[in-house]
Amino acid sequence: MKRLVAHELTLSFVPDVTQRLWRTVTRRKYQLTRNRLQLQNRLESLLEEAHIKVSMLVSDLPGASARRMLRAVATGEPDPAAVAARGSPRLRATAERLCDGLGPRGTRIPCIAGRSR
């Protein structure tokens, strides 16, 4: 029985330092990607609750143009044309479509108004 156990059981595999480092880097990259996507989905759901349809018109919601427009909305800019003007001219949506997606902007939206920085 001792010989059978001695031949069958081997020590568990412990990778070398380089492989462990690469596994750690890969794991961290996966976690960062997952966190970024969670944040983007939370932002999109917040905007949908506020009846702001920017995500359908802007290809990259966390991009620079969308961030400028969302910052204007968060500060209480009442004019949708002024908010749409903050977008880049390279956006796939026209200014008219952006104004329609931003909706009527008479008052500040409560769920966004409380999150000023």
Q: Per-residue pLDDT tens for 71-94? A: 888 888 888 888 888 888 888 788
Lowest-confidence range among 4-8, 53-57, 96-100?
A: 4-8
41 band by pLDDT with thresholds 50, 70 and 90: very high
Locus of tokens 């991009």: 63
What token pair was written down for 113? 């108004």
Averaged pLDDT of the chain: 79
The pLDDT of residue 104 is: 64
The pLDDT of residue 24 is: 97
